[in-house]
Chain A
Amino acid sequence: MLKFFISALALIWIGFQPNPDPKAIALTNARLVTVTNGVIENATLLIRDGKIAALGKAVVIPSGATIIDCAGKSVYPGMIDGGSQLGLLEVNSLPETVDHDELGNITPQMQALTAVNPNSELIPVTRVNGVLVSLAVPTGGMFPGTAALIRLHGYTPEQMYAGFKGVAMNFPNTGRMGGFDRRTDEEITKTAQKALEDLNQLWQQAQEYHRIQTAFASGNHPKAPEYVPEMAALQPVIKGEWPLLIEVNTAKDIEAALTWIKARNVKAVLTGVREGWRVADKIATAGVSVIAGSVFSFPTRASDRYDRGYANPALMHKAGVKVALRSEANENARNLPFFAGYAAAYGLGKDQALKAVTIIPAEILGVSDRLGSLETGKEATLFIANGDPFEPKTQISHLFIAGRTIKIESRQTRLYEEFLNRNPGFDK
């Protein structure tokens, strides 16, 4: 009956449609939350060839297109998680299933994309909440590896790859790592100082490697640089092709990192930045973008107001810093919309919070030509919801990743279906 109705509807259009397209999908009567161009009420969004082919109030629907009536519903661009280990681990307590933490202190050559498991049960659990793109970040030493942006659908890592790579770095840290960190203050300072010396030396070597390589390439040096995989992996950063993702959290360390970046003219993004609110003006002045760590982080000092973690993105934004959010939550990266909602409530505002999980991470990671908003020509990586996606009550009814229809299903929903009324059951 429904099919008949759709066909009938399509027939009406045939007269106007020179190019029938059975693969096109039209989202009609929708409230389009474009993020970059405001909200368009009662509009149509056309998906074709994996992209947003058209959107607005006067979209011509090709004959044969599948029509999804979105009356009473809104369409949003897929949320982008600015950083977690989703895809790189399955069960955190089982080392055999954890692939984000390689041995060694300087290992930028370790490729997160290689270790992404497209069949992880964690991935469908995440995407059914509208988080459709995620930055997979290796963890470990000073240079844990190269992070990769992935779409949360694909059968191979390459199919999932969303066009951004960046070298992750842990800036020498003078913060205490919680109750189990039993180092004295002096030990912490010394370790950080030593780490900074090592870092500076390493950076010099990487620059030297670059000079040798450039000279060799232009015939001004007789030999190619020696085989040093660590150095080779840092070259895209040295050349300014990729940003360095600098994890830094305490106020003092953030300032040190800004100085370090400036002195070396490094293209960088600060990540974590838990005490960003303390030095927000300085980050803004430096013009460095931030992927803020979990909104549910504790205040870093017992003397801080209880809500500093919630308010950190807002306080940085108000100072003029470009702020994206990340979940840090791995198996619960699905909570990104709730983190964004908290950031919104504690000063960021709904519109800005939505940007912080869509267009801003897309811009920071250099993929805003493809992702992060509803615009003609961008990837159709989007979802349909019956309300504000940050509200827990809201339900998502449809998902598209690069134009592919993704079922609203995960092992968690399947368990629900099986066990709500255990079926097949037992009488006793």
Chain B
Amino acid sequence: MKLNFLLIALFFWSFEASHAQDKGNLLIRNGTILTVTKGTLEGSDLLITNGKIAKIGKNLTAPTGYQTIDASGRYVMPGIIDAHSHIAVDAVNEATSPVTAEVQIRDVLNPLDISIYRALAGGTTISHAMHGSANAIGGQCQTIKHRYGVKLPEALVMEGAPRTIKFALGENPTRVHGRGSGVNPSTRMGVEYVIRDAFERGKRYMNEWEAYKKNQIGPPPAYNLRSEVIADILKGNILIHAHSYRADEILMLMQVLKDYGVKKVTFQHANEAFKVAPELAAFGATASVFADWWAYKMEVYYSTAYNASILTKNGVRTSINSDSADFIRHLNLEAAKTQKYGGMSDDEALAMITINPAAQLGIEQRTGSIEVGKDADIAIFNVHPLSIYAINQMTIVDGVVRFDREADPDDMRLSVRPDGPVEAAELSTESHDRCMQGVDWLMEESATTLGAKIFHQHKY
């Protein structure tokens, strides 16, 4: 009896596990291929074998068993990559300490989140599921693939993607910890101190362990997960993604990183990055910004929608992110705004939602452009994706069609009780920025008055 149950469980587990590894075989025919890195190819085909781009060319033939997709008159682009998102997660902030490097988004992934499907419908195939911005060092994030349809959380994980961690500077950590709980930091000085303190402890921890491993003298140092993670940052094994807005705090973090020999950092939001573009370029830092979001709080008041263009023209690799279950649905429009604000070329604009975020997540060897050997993550639009009239028709992840506008049924939920009532209408108008979700005491005020408020509230 017990054995039977185990066998059944094993069967389903293996089914799910294989599902996660789904790799498709496809021939996409006669499309305009926007490779992003190697120009635009008219009337070309894309052969996808076992989830990878096998061939790009004209008049390719599909081996037997391959599905063929006619892309005549359509635009084939790399799947859109969002370097800052909070979809598909059940928790965002562990706001109990200004440093919580030990916690992991990987532990709270939710593959049933309808937002994954909506993002996929907009052509977004990969997102960086991040911690919030309550803590100066918030926790480890997870790069996920939008394999909507899988039911195991682990099946969302992009295998082999580098580890990343969220840092947060400025108003949010000082509000939560300093003004909220009466501990450091309550100022930008405090934020610097908290990060330096964590780095110094991590460095000493690392040195103690190295000495112990070398000499094997005495008892081993006490194990500390938080310091383990910090040590990995110092070794360069974890990419830093730092929530930041003001130019001064961006400079501060670069100085701290310089002092500890850490080289890779992406400044997230970074509304004032344009003010220190030469310094960012000199450091080799990158920026992941909003196309035009501003003025929802003081530290984004002195913003400009030309941020991405100024950064790009000053040699800073820049991506456009969503930080939003809404914006992740139309990042192609967000990228197109860089053409309005600063006259970016088509390839420059498209790079901001493909190869540039891929580089920031350390996955540019595998994704972010249409090149032979890369993962077959593809979006197919009816017209050029930088046009306002572009509608994504089909989204492919690892060669598997995960969204098809024509075949899309009305109800795409993965978990529905057939005998349950029709769900109530929800009028949530996007929390544009979920960076502060889970910091309950901060939310209470807005919750009580929310009933009367229909319009957007950008509290964070």
Contacts of A178 in B (CB 8 A): 426-429, 431, 450
What class of interface size applies to chain A in its complex with B? 35 or more
A303 and B413 contacting across the interface, CB-CB below 8 Å? yes
In the bound complex, what is the Cα–Cα distance between A121 and B294 (angstroms)?
A: 11
Verify A412–B121 contact, CB threshold 8 A: no
The answer to whether A92 and B295 touch across the interface, beta carbons within 8 angstroms, is: yes
Within 8 Å CB of A420, what residues of B?
306, 309-310, 313-314
| Contact among B443, B446, B452 for A140, CB-based, below 8 A | B452
Of the 9-residue stretches B40-48, B93-101, B213-221, B381-389, which lies at the interface with chain A? B381-389
Closest CB-CB distance, B410 to chain A, in whole Å? 6
Q: B296, A251: Cβ atoms under 8 Å?
A: no
| Mask of B262-301 contacts with A, CB within 8 angstroms, 1/0 | 0000000000001101100000000000001111111001
Residues from chain A with a CB closer than 8 A to the CB of B413 are 302-303
The 6 A-B pairs with the shortest beta carbon distances in the complex, nearest first, are: A178-B428, A341-B388, A416-B306, A392-B336, A331-B295, A93-B297
- A306 close to B310 (CB less than 8 A): no
Excluding A390-B388, A412-B306, 10 further A-B contacts by CB distance (< 8 Å) are A178-B428, A178-B431, A252-B425, A301-B423, A306-B118, A306-B329, A330-B456, A388-B388, A392-B340, A393-B340
Closest to A412 in B: B304
A416-B304 CB under 8 A given contacts A90-B295, A306-B412, A346-B391: yes
> In the complex, which residues of chain A have a beta carbon less than 8 angstroms from the beta carbon of B301?
90-91, 121
How far is A175 from B427 in the complex, measured between Cα atoms in Å? 6
Instruction: Find A294's partner among B121, B277, B339, B429 (CB 8 Å cutoff).
Output: B429
A304 at the interface (CB under 8 A from B): yes
Is the CB–CB distance between A177 and B121 below 8 Å?
no
Q: Is the CB of A303 within 8 A of B411?
A: yes
CB-contacts of A357-381 with B (<8 A): none
Q: Is the CB of A392 within 8 A of B427?
A: no
Q: Which residue of B lies closest to A426 (CB)?
A: B278
A90 contacts which chain B residues (CB < 8 A)?
A: 295, 301
User: How many Å lie between the Cα of A88 and that of B422 in the bound state?
Assistant: 38
For the complex, give the distance between the alpha carbons of A35 and B121 in Å.
33
Q: How far is the CA of A40 from the CA of B293 in the complex (A)?
A: 36
B388 contacts A342, C-beta separation under 8 Å:
yes
Q: Which of B339, B426, B429 contacts A392 (CB 8 A)?
A: B339
Closest approach, in angstroms, between the C-beta of A166 and any C-beta of chain B?
16
| Prevailing SS type, chain B contact patch | loop
**In this complex, what residue of B is CB-closest to A176?**
B426
Report the number of A-B residue pairs with Cβ-Cβ less than 8 Å.
217
**Which A209-262 residues have a C-beta within 8 angstroms of B?**
247, 249-252
Residues in A with CB closer than 8 Å to B278 are 422
Nearest A-chain residue to B389, judged by Cβ:
A345
B390 proximal to A (CB < 8 A) = yes
Identify the stretch in A12-20, A65-73, A179-187 within 8 Å (CB) of chain B at 4 or more residues. A179-187
Partner of B424, one of A91, A185, A395, A413: A185
CA distance A94 to B340 in the complex (A): 29
Q: Is the beta-carbon distance between B454 and A247 smaller than 8 angstroms?
A: yes
Quote the shortest CB–CB distance from B100 to chain A (angstroms): 22
| Interchain residue pairs with CB less than 8 A apart (7) | A93-B458, A94-B298, A139-B452, A297-B429, A390-B389, A419-B310, A422-B278
B interface residues, how many (CB within 8 angstroms): 73
Q: Which residues of B contact A (CB under 8 A)?
A: 114, 117-118, 121, 274-275, 277-278, 292-298, 301-306, 309-310, 313-314, 325-326, 329-330, 333, 336-337, 339-342, 386-391, 408, 410-413, 416, 422-431, 443, 446-447, 449-460
Q: Which residues of B contact A294 (CB under 8 A)?
A: 429, 456
Cβ of A200 within 8 Å of any chain B Cβ, yes or no, is: no
> Once bound together, how far apart are the Cα atoms of A113 and B416, in whole Å?
48
A93 in complex: contacting residue of B296, B387, B429, B453, CB < 8 Å: B296
* A-chain residues with CB within 8 Å of residue B449 when the two chains form the complex: 101
Contact of B292 among A140, A249, A303, A335 (CB under 8 A): A335
Cβ A415 vs Cβ B274 within 8 A: yes
Bound Cα distance A337, B429 (Å): 20
Q: By the criterion CB–CB under 8 Å, are A298 and B388 in contact?
A: no
Contact partners of B460 in chain A: CB under 8 A = 93
B327 → chain A, closest Cβ, in Å?
8
Structural contact, B339 and A176, CB atoms closer than 8 A: no
A268 to chain B, nearest CB (A): 16
Indicate with 1 or 0, residue by residue over A278-303, a CB within 8 angstroms of chain B CB atoms. 00000000000000011011111111
CB neighbours (8 Å) of A304 from chain B are 410-411
From the candidates B275, B293, B330, B425, name the one contacting A251 in the complex (CB within 8 A).
B425
Which residues of the partner chain B approach A407 to less than 8 Å between Cβ atoms? none
Check B387 against A173 for contact (C-beta < 8 Å): no
Provided the pairs A249-B454, A393-B339, A393-B340 are in contact, do residues A338 and B388 lie with their beta carbons within 8 angstroms?
yes
Closest to A345 in B: B389
Smallest Cβ distance from A335 to chain B, in angstroms?
A: 7
Q: Report the separation of the CA atoms of residues A249 and B452 in the bound assembly, to the nearest whole angstrom.
A: 12
Binary contact readout A329-348 vs B (1 if CB under 8 angstroms, 0 otherwise): 11110110110011011100
Residues of A within 8 A of B342 (CB): 416
Q: For the complex, is A191 an interface residue (Cβ under 8 Å from B)? A: yes
